[in-house]
Every structure is written in C-alpha cells, then in structure tokens.
Amino acid sequence: MQRQYDLERAGWKFWRVRGREFFYNKTKSLESLWSKLEEMGIEKVAN
C-alpha cells in the first residue's frame, strides 16, 4: 500500500478489482475499468 501511495503522489492512477468478482465474472468485473479508460481518453492499441 505504501508503494501505491507513493506512486499516486507521483500522478499514477490505480484501479482495483476484487479477486472473487473477477473469478466469477471476468467480463462484468472489468466493465468499470473500460469505462474509466475511456473517460481518461485512453484507447486500445491496434495490433
């Protein structure tokens, strides 16, 4: 937690998902991540 706190002070953003939530429904558990990335203007890189 200290490392995360230090990185947040340096401007990094973190997003967390509960392991149980991810295990039972990966797609639904990541929906808020995709929304947050879109809100931040971060787009997927084409392969």
Residues 36-46 pLDDT 10s? 999 999 988 87
Distance of CA 35 to the CA centre of its chain: 9
Can you tell me which residue has the tokens 């809100």? 39
Name, in order, each residue with C-beta under 8 angstroms of 15's C-beta and a sequence gap of 6 or more. 32, 33, 36
For 1-29, what is the mean pLDDT? 94
pLDDT at 34 (0 to 100): 93
pLDDT at residue 17 greater than cutoff 90: yes
Q: Give the chain's length.
A: 47
Per the model's pLDDT, the better-predicted residue between 4 and 47 turns out to be: 4
Helices marked H in 1-47: 2-9, 19-24, 26-39
Mean pLDDT of all residues belonging to the chain: 92
pLDDT at 43: 87
Q: What is the pTM of this model?
A: 0.69
